[in-house]
Chains A and B, each alone.
Chain A
Amino acid sequence: MPAASTTPDPSLIRALEGIVGPRGVVTSPEGRLTYECDMHTLYKGAPDVVVLPETAEHVAAIVRLCRERKVPIVPRGSGTGLIGGAMATRGGVMVSTTRMNRILELDLPNRCAIVQPGLINLWLSNATRPSGWFFAPDPSSQMVSSIGGNASTNAGGPHCLKYGITVNHVLGLQVVTGAGELVWLGGKVPERPGYDLTGVMVGAEGTLGLLTAVVVRLTHVPEAVRTLLASFSSIEDASETVSAIVAAGIIPAALEMIDEVMVKAIEEGVGAGYPKGAGAVLLIELDGPSAEIDAQSARIEEICWSHAALEVRVAADESERALLWKGRKEAAGAMGRLTPNWLLQDAVVPRSRLPQIMREMQVIQQRYGLVLANVFHAGDGNLHPMICYDERKPGELERAQQVNEELLRACLALGGTVTGEHGVGLDKAKNLPHQFAESDLNFMARLRRVFDPDGIMNPDKLLPAHPACGEGFRPARPEIPRGAWI
C-alpha cells in the first residue's frame, strides 16, 4: 500500500485552522495514526491532517481549499467500513464528521428526519421509536456507524430483504461536490423534476463529494414482530428452505443463514442459544400486521419441517428475540475465538444459486486448506464468508486472498455481483473489471469527473486506477454503415 506522506504543509494546516479553529485540526503523528485505517485493517495509510468540521459551511470551505491546492480529501464517519474506504492512500486531508452528529429536524407527519452525517444510525431510531417510527437500514454496525457513512456506502443490513437498502430511505442530501459547490439535492418532497442526483450520490463512497446533511425516510413500527429459528443438518437443506419460503410468496423482514462453524463461534462467544452441532441455522423474522404474521409463520414452519428441519423454534418473547439477534449481529466479534485473522467477503449470487455456490465454496476451501465461516443474508443471496487465516503462518494470508478471488469469480460466473452492501473502497476496486466492461467503467469514470473535476475526492477508491491518462477505459464503439460517409 502507498505510505502516507508525513510532512503536512504548514500553510495548509494554518488555513484549515482558520476554517474550523485549532481544536478542529489533528496533526500529531499519534493523533493521525488513529485514522490510518477503517475496519479493514490490511489497508493502512494515515492522512497528513485530520479536520473536524462542525457545519456544512466548514466542509465547503475545506473542499474549496483542497481543490485550490490539489490536495486529496478522504471522508470518514465512524470508521466502521469494511473496504478500506476511510483511509488515506496519498496522505492529504481527512474530513471526519464526528462533530456533525445532530438530528436537525424530526418531521413525523412527513415521515422523515433531517440529520447531520455523523449521527449514529441507532440514535435516530432511539429518538423516534417512542413515537412509533424507526430508520429501517440496520447494518450490523448500527450501534456505532454513522448515517453519513451508511449513505456513502449505501449500506444494507439484515432487514433490507423487506425494507430495501439505504438509498431506498434517503429522500435528499446536502452535499459539497468535489467542485466545491454546496448544494441541496432532493428533500422532504420526494419527487422533483430533473436527474436523480441524490440517487447517484448515495453509495458514491465520498468520491463525488461530501455529505453535510441527509434527509431520511422513517418507517412506521410494525404491529408485530416474530422471529423463528430453524436448524438443519446441512447447508443444502437450509438453502432450499430459503428458496421455498420466497417461492411461497413470503418476503420475510430478514432471512439469515449461519453455518456450523459460525454457530460454534457465536455460541462460545455470545451464547445466543443457537443449537450446537447443526449444519446450518436459519434466522427468520417476520413483521407487519399480526394476522399476516400468524398466517405466514405457520406456513414457514411447515416449509421448514418439509425440508428436514431438525428444530423450529419461535422466540417466545422480546428478550429471546433480542438474544437470537445478538448472536447474529455480534458474529464478527465472536470470530476472534475461531481465528486470529479473517478476510470478509460480500459477494451476491441470485438466490436460486445459493445451493450451488455453497457447494463450490466447500471445494475451494478444501483445495486451499483453510476454514470458512458463514453468516449471511440468505434471503437476498448476499454471502459473507469469513476466510480464516493466521498472519503469523507464512503464506496463509496469500492463500486466503486466493480463496477470496476464486470465490468472487465463482459468484460472478453465476450472475452475481462483487459487493452487495459493504462497498468497493480500496479493497474491491481491482475486481470491478471482472464485473464491468471497459465501456461501463468509462461511463462511471466520466460520471466521477462531472462531480470531481480535479480528482481530489477519495482517490483510489470505488474505481480501479487505470494506467492510461484521463478516464482510461476505452469503450468499444459500434461500426457505422459506410453509406453514411458518402
Chain B
Amino acid sequence: MSRAPALTRALEEIAGLAHVVTDPAALAAAAVDGLAPRWIARPSSVDQIARVLALAAAESLAVTPRGGGSSLGLGYPPRRLDLVLDMSRLDGVLDYVPEDMVASVQCGISLDALAGRLGQHGQRLPLDPAPGGARSIGGVLATAASGPLRLRYGTGRDLLLGVRFVQADGVVTWGGARVVKSVTGYDVPKLLVGSLGTLGVLAEATIRLHPIPPAWGSWLFGFETPGAAAAFIAAVVDSALQPERLVLLDAGAARAAADSATHGAAVAISIASTAEAVTAQRDALSMLAARHGGRPGEIGAGAWSRLGAALAAPLVIRLAGEPARLGHWLTALEHVARDGRIGLISMGEAGGGVLRAALRAPDGDGVPTPTWLEGAVSGLRAALAPEGGSLVVERAPRAVKDTVDVWGPVAPDALAIMRRLKAQFDPAGILNPGRFVGGL
C-alpha cells in the first residue's frame, strides 16, 4: 500500500488533479460485482488513456473501462480491479460528413447525444440496445449490444468501420478504415466488437450511419399462443416485406408495450420507408396476421422504449438459438418460469434468434434464488446445445453470479484460440481480468 500515494500522483500527472478519484464513497459506487477499485481515472484524450494503461501495465494494475456504466454487470466478477477508466470525458464527435454517412466519435459519447447530432442531418446510428440511449458507444461496441433494429441494420459488427484503441501496454492502435468499404488488412474492428475490453480499450470509433426514413409506423398484433405468433413471424420472414423490427413478445412484454394488451403472445413490428410503402406494408401485414389469427393494434414509438425499460430488470438472461425456433424457446422459457412461479417478461428478435428475458421472484420484485436459476439455466443450456445455441446471464446480483456460470460453456477448440489471443495481446492480464468467457 505504500506505493499507492506515488501511483495516485502518477495518475494525477496524467489525467489532472481533478480527474483522479480516491474518495472511498465514490470508489464504492464504482464497484463491479461488489469489488471496488482503488482509483477512478477520467482521461480526456487518447494519449491520456495510453499513458494510464502504460502505467497500469508497468505496475500490474487491473483496469476496467467504463462507459455509461449500465452494463458493468455483464460477465464474471472481476478477478481483480484496481483502476476504473471512466470514459465520460471522451464524448466528442471528431468528424462527421453527412454526405458520407460516416461519423468518427470518441467512445464515451452516449447514444442519445450522438442521435441528437445526427438527427439534425436526418441520419442515425441504428443501434437500439437495452436499456437505452444513456449507454456509451464504446460500451455498446465492447459488449456487442444490439436491439430489435438488428434485423434490418445488423449489429455493431456490421456498423463499426474503424476503431482507435489502446492496447494493454499503452500502445495506441488503429484498425479498419474511415470509409464504408475496406478490406485493407485484417478486420480488427470485428475482433474488438464484443471483446468486453479484454484486448484493448476502445477510444474512438468510426461508424456507418443510415438515413432516417421519411415515414414510420409500428403495430402490435395479438395472438392466443406463442406458437401462433411464431407462425406469423415465419410468414413475415419468408415474404418480401421489409420490417425494421420484428419481435415476439410474451404476455408480460405485450402488456409493457401496450397496457390494453391481454394476449397470450404478441408480435410487435415497425416499418420504416416512404409513406406509400409504410401504408402498403401495413395492409399486407394486417392481412397476413389475420390469416394467422392475429388482432392488430397501433402502438407509438414509446412502446419500444417501454419494452427496453421492461427488460432492464435486476436479472436478465439472453438466450440465442436457431432463429426459426424462436417460438419454441419462448414457450420453453414460459414453462420453466411457470414451474418455478417466476415472473417473466420476454422478447425475442426474429431473424437474429435472440431472446431476452427479465426474471422476477415469485413474491414480487426480487430476483429468483440462485439455486432455482442454476437449475433453470442448466436445463435450458442442455436443450440449446444441440443446435449450437447459448444462454448468457446478462445481468445478475453477485450472489447469483457466485452460483451460476453467467457465460456458460464455449466450445473448447474455439476457446483455445481465444486464450491465445488474450495471451498475445494482454499477457499480464490487466484488462478486465476474469470477466470474459472462459475467465479470460
* A contact residues vs B (CB 8 Å cutoff): 107-111, 132, 153-154, 156, 160, 164-165, 167-168, 177, 181-185, 187-197, 199-200, 202-204, 220-223, 243, 246-247, 249-251, 288-292, 294-296, 348-352, 377, 380-382, 415-424, 428, 432, 435-437, 439-444, 446-451, 462-463, 475-481, 483-484, 486
A448 and B122 alpha carbons, distance in the complex (Å): 41
Within 8 A of A (CB), among B225-262: 234, 237-242
Task: Indicate if the CB atoms of B183 and A483 lie closer than 8 Å.
Answer: no
Task: Indicate if the CB atoms of A164 and B154 lie closer than 8 Å.
Answer: yes
A450 and B271 alpha carbons, distance in the complex (Å): 44
Task: Indicate if the CB atoms of B181 and A289 lie closer than 8 Å.
Answer: no
Residues of A within 8 A of B185 (CB): 424, 432, 435-436, 440-441, 444, 462-463
Residues of B within 8 A of A481 (CB): 9-10, 13-14, 51, 55
* A164-B154, A428-B184, A447-B191 as given contacts; A478 in contact with B170, CB under 8 Å: yes
A sample of 5 cross-chain residue pairs with beta-carbon separation below 8 angstroms, ordered by A number, consists of A196-B190, A202-B190, A249-B122, A443-B171, A484-B59
Task: Indicate if the CB atoms of A483 and B417 lie closer than 8 Å.
Answer: no
Task: Indicate if the CB atoms of A193 and B279 lie closer than 8 Å.
Answer: no
Task: Indicate if the CB atoms of B417 and A197 lie closer than 8 Å.
Answer: yes
The 3 A-B pairs of least Cβ separation, nearest first, read A199-B190, A249-B211, A292-B277
Across the A-B interface, how many residue pairs have beta carbons closer than 8 Å?
Answer: 310
Chain B residue, CB-CB nearest to A155: B183
B387 within 8 A of partner (CB): yes
**Within the complex, which residue of A190, A296, A351, A377 is in contact with B99, where a contact is CB–CB below 8 Å?**
A351
Rounded to whole Å, the gap between the CB of A379 and the closest CB of chain B is: 9
Rounded to whole Å, the gap between the CB of A443 and the closest CB of chain B is: 5
Among A420, A442, A446, A484, max chain B CB count under 10 A is at: A484
Task: Indicate if the CB atoms of A200 and B181 lie closer than 8 Å.
Answer: no
Task: Indicate if the CB atoms of B173 and A439 lie closer than 8 Å.
Answer: yes
Task: Indicate if the CB atoms of A184 and B414 lie closer than 8 Å.
Answer: yes
Task: Indicate if the CB atoms of A289 and B240 lie closer than 8 Å.
Answer: yes
Rounded to whole Å, the gap between the CB of A347 and the closest CB of chain B is: 9
A220 and B418 alpha carbons, distance in the complex (Å): 34
* B contact residues vs A (CB 8 Å cutoff): 3, 6-7, 9-10, 13-14, 47, 50-51, 53-55, 58-59, 97-102, 122, 144, 154, 157-158, 167, 169-175, 177-188, 190-191, 193-195, 199, 210-214, 234, 237-242, 273-277, 279-281, 318, 320-324, 351-354, 387-390, 392, 407-408, 410-411, 413-418, 420-421, 424-425, 436-438
Task: Indicate if the CB atoms of A109 and B234 lie closer than 8 Å.
Answer: yes
Task: Indicate if the CB atoms of A479 and B390 lie closer than 8 Å.
Answer: no
* A183-B413, A447-B188 as given contacts; A165 in contact with B54, CB under 8 Å: no
**Given A111-B237, A447-B424, 11 other A-B contacts at CB below 8 A?**
A189-B353, A191-B144, A194-B410, A203-B187, A288-B273, A348-B182, A416-B178, A477-B169, A480-B58, A481-B51, A484-B55
A480 and B61 alpha carbons, distance in the complex (Å): 14
A415 and B99 alpha carbons, distance in the complex (Å): 14
Rounded to whole Å, the gap between the CB of B165 and the closest CB of chain A is: 9
Rounded to whole Å, the gap between the CB of A366 and the closest CB of chain B is: 26
Residues of B within 8 A of A441 (CB): 185
Task: Indicate if the CB atoms of B55 and A447 lie closer than 8 Å.
Answer: no
Task: Indicate if the CB atoms of A250 and B351 lie closer than 8 Å.
Answer: no
Chain A residue, CB-CB nearest to B161: A417
* A247-B98, A443-B175 as given contacts; A110 in contact with B408, CB under 8 Å: no
Chain B residue, CB-CB nearest to A195: B418
Chain A residue, CB-CB nearest to B195: A195
Task: Indicate if the CB atoms of A188 and B181 lie closer than 8 Å.
Answer: no
Task: Indicate if the CB atoms of A156 and B279 lie closer than 8 Å.
Answer: no
Task: Indicate if the CB atoms of B187 and A202 lie closer than 8 Å.
Answer: yes
Rounded to whole Å, the gap between the CB of A360 and the closest CB of chain B is: 16
Task: Indicate if the CB atoms of B181 and A348 lie closer than 8 Å.
Answer: yes
* A110-B323, A183-B414 as given contacts; A196 in contact with B193, CB under 8 Å: yes
* A189-B321, A195-B194, A196-B157 as given contacts; A289 in contact with B178, CB under 8 Å: no
A428 and B183 alpha carbons, distance in the complex (Å): 11
Residues of B within 8 A of A428 (CB): 184
Task: Indicate if the CB atoms of B421 and A450 lie closer than 8 Å.
Answer: yes
Task: Indicate if the CB atoms of B181 and A381 lie closer than 8 Å.
Answer: yes
Rounded to whole Å, the gap between the CB of A181 and the closest CB of chain B is: 6
Task: Indicate if the CB atoms of A432 and B184 lie closer than 8 Å.
Answer: yes
Task: Indicate if the CB atoms of A475 and B173 lie closer than 8 Å.
Answer: yes
Residues of A within 8 A of B170 (CB): 477-478, 480
Task: Indicate if the CB atoms of A288 and B242 lie closer than 8 Å.
Answer: yes
Rounded to whole Å, the gap between the CB of A427 and the closest CB of chain B is: 12
Rounded to whole Å, the gap between the CB of A351 and the closest CB of chain B is: 5
Among B274, B418, B420, max chain A CB count under 10 A is at: B274
**Within the complex, which residue of A153, A185, A250, A420 is in contact with B414, where a contact is CB–CB below 8 Å?**
A185
Residues of A within 8 A of B211 (CB): 249-251
Task: Indicate if the CB atoms of B277 and A291 lie closer than 8 Å.
Answer: yes
Rounded to whole Å, the gap between the CB of B326 and the closest CB of chain A is: 10
Residues of B within 8 A of A442 (CB): 171
**Within the complex, which residue of A185, A187, A203, A439 is in contact with B183, where a contact is CB–CB below 8 Å?**
A203
Rounded to whole Å, the gap between the CB of A453 and the closest CB of chain B is: 9
A249 and B351 alpha carbons, distance in the complex (Å): 25
* A109-B324, A189-B387 as given contacts; A295 in contact with B277, CB under 8 Å: yes
* A195-B194, A200-B191 as given contacts; A420 in contact with B181, CB under 8 Å: yes
Task: Indicate if the CB atoms of A291 and B190 lie closer than 8 Å.
Answer: no
Task: Indicate if the CB atoms of B212 and A292 lie closer than 8 Å.
Answer: no
Rounded to whole Å, the gap between the CB of B225 and the closest CB of chain A is: 19
Residues of A within 8 A of B352 (CB): 190-191
Task: Indicate if the CB atoms of A443 and B10 lie closer than 8 Å.
Answer: no
**Within the complex, which residue of B180, B210, B322 is in contact with A110, where a contact is CB–CB below 8 Å?**
B322
A463 and B185 alpha carbons, distance in the complex (Å): 7
A443 and B182 alpha carbons, distance in the complex (Å): 18
Residues of A within 8 A of B101 (CB): 246, 351
